[in-house]
Amino acid sequence: MRESDLIRHKKSSKDKQIFEPPEQKVEPPQKEEKLEIPAIGMEQFVEFYSKGIEILHKISEMESLDATTWQEILDFISEVVDITVEIPGVSVDVAINHSGHPSLTRAHNIMDVFLLAINIGIGLGYSKDKLIGLGTTAFLHDIGMLNLPEGLEDRDEKSPTRTGKFGRKRQTDLSSEKSTGEQGLVLRQHPIYSLQKLEGIDEVTDDIKMAIYQGHERIDGSGYPEGVKGKEIHEYAQIIGIADTYQTLTSSSRAGKTLPHEAMKTIINYRKQFNPKIIKAFINQVSIYPIGSLIQLNNSEIAKIIDTNKNSPLRPKIVVLFDRNGKRLKDKKTIDLRKELIVHIKKSITPDEVGIDVSDILKI
Ligand SMILES: [Fe+2]
């Protein structure tokens, strides 16, 4: 699809009212009270994750998608949505831990954003149909990046805050719209390249095309490619914008990566760029201390978050892995911090700090 065609498509879509009227909220199924991570769910998710990477690699080798691959994508998304609705925290766990994987590729970035976006959709009370629409958009939104030269995005990766002239911290732009020069121009074209890969598939709806095109737009107009504002940006694109920003900040492929709770704070600080309703759903689903992340307690023990407590975000459920002397515990100790008030979280830590392999964390 050429840019001129896309703009035409955008105008005609606007005439037809591209934004769906707000649907009645469907309450997501209540997560069961549990202290242990369901092993089957985790295994299935790791399998789904590998399958997603495989499909993305296949897409990267195609000029445009064929009908068989399109059907494979739809089946895959439907399966992932079903299992995420059943056990939402597990997919966040997989996304967060793969975000910390040292050999992260663009396909891993896409998978992480895809899983985070579905979780945000669940937090917004989306129906299964809408979750599939959102998931399809999130899975395809960056396929145009798969064939771009490596390292193109590095020039745009900035620390969430930088020290200004007078030692004061100043915010930097997260949407990269200020990028100039040839590399910046190529990077800002990638939503169009994503759409070009879908040209042969008639079933891709206008909603999905629009949301793929708008994934880097921000509600204050600071995004790209068009710099549109507020409700002009499709809700799926607004969700992907938050998931993508969080994933970029926490990704270990990024210089100066940020711990999950710091990335969350950054997004809250950038509330002018994001829809407050979606930030709220994101915090509820992903939490300040996401499932799967590591923390140090005030008694120096190291633990992994295994479940959140919705009304006490700072007091999740944990499993202690290392004692206060750094010795690995043979018998895992689970604690609900809401009930053990004498213990509290001192700080978030990275797997590297305690010498844990990421794949090891997934098994815990
Ligand atoms: Fe993108």
Instruction: Print the SS3 string covering 138-186.
Output: HHHCCHHHCCCCCCCCHHHCCCCEEECCCCCEEECCCCCCCCCHHHHHH
Is 35's pLDDT higher than 50?
Answer: no
Is 26 a domain residue?
no
Omega before residue 225 within 30° of 0, cis: yes
Domain that holds residue 303: 294-363
Tokens of 19: 């934004």
Q: Do residues 51 and 8 share a domain?
A: yes
Give the CATH number for residue 88.
1.10.3210.10
For residue 342, the model assigns a pLDDT of 83
Same domain, 220 and 305: no
Instruction: State pLDDT tens for residues 337-349.
Output: 888 888 888 888 8
Residues 213 and 306 in one domain: no
Number of alpha carbons in the 13 Å side-chain half-sphere of residue 53: 15
Tell me the pLDDT of the chain averaged across its residues: 78
Do residues 239 and 338 both lie within one domain?
no
* Distance between Cα 216 and ligand 1 center (Å): 6
The verdict on 257 and 301 lying in the same domain is no
- Report CA(110)–ligand 1 centroid distance (Å): 9
- How many whole angstroms from 256 Cα to the centroid of ligand 1? 20
Are 253 and 355 in a shared domain?
A: no
Q: How confident is the model at residue 357 (pLDDT cuts 50, 70, 90)?
A: low
- Looking at the structure, tell me whether residues 65 and 201 fall in a common domain: yes
Find the 99 Cα to ligand 1 centroid distance in Å: 16
* CA–centroid distance, residue 260 to ligand 1 (Å): 20
Cα of 33 from ligand 1 centre, angstroms: 36
Domain boundary among 250, 269, 286: 286
Give the range among 12-16, 52-56, 250-254, 265-269 with minimum mean pLDDT.
12-16
> Is 242 a domain residue?
yes
Statement: residue 18 has pLDDT above 90: no
Mean pLDDT of the 106-124 span: 93
- 286 CA to centre of ligand 1 in angstroms: 21
Cα of 109 vs centre of ligand 1, distance in Å, is: 10
Q: CA-CA distance, 143 to 254, in Å (whole number)?
A: 19
DSSP string, 88-104: HHHHHHHHHHHHT-TT-
The verdict on 16 and 115 lying in the same domain is yes
Residues near 31 by Cβ (< 8 Å), separated by ≥ 6? 87, 88, 89, 307
Q: Count of domains in the chain? A: 2
Return phi, psi of residue 363, to 5°.
-80, -20
More confident residue, 116 or 263: 116
Q: Is residue 165 part of a domain?
A: no
- The answer to whether residue 342 sits within a structural domain is yes
| 44/111 same-domain check | yes
